[in-house]
Amino acid sequence: HGLAPQPMQNEHPITAEATAGRRERPVVALVVPCYNEEEMLPVSAPQLLALLDGMVAEGIASADSFILCVDDGSRDGTWELIGRLHSEDHRLKGITLAHNRGQQSAMLAGLMTVRPMADAAITIDADLQDSPQAVVEMVRLYRLGYDIVYGVRASRSSDSFYKRASARAFYKLQNALGLETIYDHSEFRLMGRRALDILEEYPERNLFIRGIMTSIGLKWTTVTYDRCARAAGETKYSFGKLLSLSVDGITSFTAKPMRLIFGLGLVLLLLDIVISAWVLISHFGGNAMSGWASLMLSIWFLGSIILIALGIIGEYVGKIFTEVKRRPRYNIAESLMD
């Protein structure tokens, strides 16, 4: 079915010790961000509950496993619907945010809510584009000792051309700027308790969870799955939301664009030498209007000096940027202190 874990560069080998202390039947929490999903939830809730039943029957998840629907300030009847589903089956739980904060914040709210109750949390979209079979595979891998399992889509055939092209451009740009991401992984992911505890240590306001996940380390692996089309309703990502997510992703991880300004200033300064020579030759050769030479010389020189100055300021702003984030300087994976 194409669900086999793929070996990747930074992947850790799993040893017998890693599985020690890991519960045979972990409490699994499915965290489902929901924004205006009243059309989709009646379809996905029974399927997700059936998925839990299946894992309990197979003996790989505890009967206490549950679903947490995070209503991200929906404007339709999503929250009332979650209330109804909850009264039918208490394994489906819910929280609602006071207003729409976006998928990243909704997921974080859900993850932090389930953190004290679950051994592992899986973020999955309400529209079931992420395959339920892959969830089972993720839990199996968690039981083997992995802390994070990334869902990686096998193909993008269900996406529009525009979405495919923009996603590819986004990954390319991120990598060029030195941000480590997993190709074709979005937000479908299992995180063990250890990963959730570390995530809690990141106090920043601008959240890009998939970027943080790859930067915290721990034992991770991937599961590939076929992403299908949304079964009901429409995408909740407008062009504006997608763009602001990309900008957030980059600007919350790297100050490299500011360094590029400095580089540009240096390049212009070099160019300035060539241009100055040409201007001076034209001037003394007598084929230049009066005033042109002095104007050209100062524009090019000042332009490059201004960019270099901006780049220097950028370096300091970049330092401030990393300092104010107050990210942990290291993450302890395990300790033998007792």
Positions in the binding site for Mg ion (CB under 5 A): 125, 127, 129
Q: Which does 237 bind (CB under 5 to 8 A by kind): ligand UDP, Mg ion, none?
A: ligand UDP
Among 47, 206, 235, 298, binds ligand UDP (CB under 6 A): 235
Among 125, 137, 184, 272, binds ligand UDP (CB under 6 A): 125
| Cβ proximity of 222 and 149 under 8 Å | yes
Q: How far apart are CA 311 and CA 254, in angstroms?
A: 15
Q: How far apart are CA 268 and CA 287, in angstroms?
A: 25
Q: How far apart are CA 133 and CA 107, in angstroms?
A: 21
Q: Is 188 in the site for ligand UDP (CB under 6 A)?
A: no
Stretch that binds ligand UDP, among 21-29, 82-90, 229-237, 326-334 (CB under 6 A): 229-237
The distance of closest approach from Cβ of residue 64 to ligand UDP in the complex, given in angstroms and rounded to an integer, is: 24
Q: Is 206 in the site for ligand UDP (CB under 6 A)?
A: no
Q: Is 31 in the site for ligand UDP (CB under 6 A)?
A: no
The distance of closest approach from Cβ of residue 305 to ligand UDP in the complex, given in angstroms and rounded to an integer, is: 44
Among 120, 121, 122, 126, binds ligand UDP (CB under 6 A): 126
Q: Is 37 in the site for ligand UDP (CB under 6 A)?
A: yes
* Other beta carbons within 10 Å of 67: 26
Contacts of 313-320 with CB under 8 Å at 24 or more apart are 314/255, 314/258, 314/259, 314/261, 314/262, 315/258, 315/259, 315/262, 317/255, 317/258, 318/255, 318/258, 318/259
β-strand partners of 192: 120
Q: Which residue is associated with the tokens 């160019």?
A: 271
Q: Is 34 in the site for ligand UDP (CB under 6 A)?
A: yes
The distance of closest approach from Cβ of residue 113 to ligand UDP in the complex, given in angstroms and rounded to an integer, is: 14
| Cβ proximity of 2 and 224 under 8 Å | yes
Q: Is 244 in the site for ligand UDP (CB under 6 A)?
A: no
| Cβ proximity of 129 and 229 under 8 Å | yes
Q: Which is nearer to ligand UDP, 127 or 137 (CB)?
A: 127
Q: Which is nearer to ligand UDP, 109 or 296 (CB)?
A: 109
- Sign for the CA dihedral angle at 19, 22, 25, 31 comes to negative
The distance of closest approach from Cβ of residue 326 to ligand UDP in the complex, given in angstroms and rounded to an integer, is: 26
Map the footprint of ligand UDP across residues 59-88, applying CB under 6 A: 72
| Cβ proximity of 202 and 104 under 8 Å | no
Binding positions for ligand UDP, rule: CB under 6 A: 33-35, 37, 72, 100, 102-103, 106, 125-127, 129, 230, 235-237
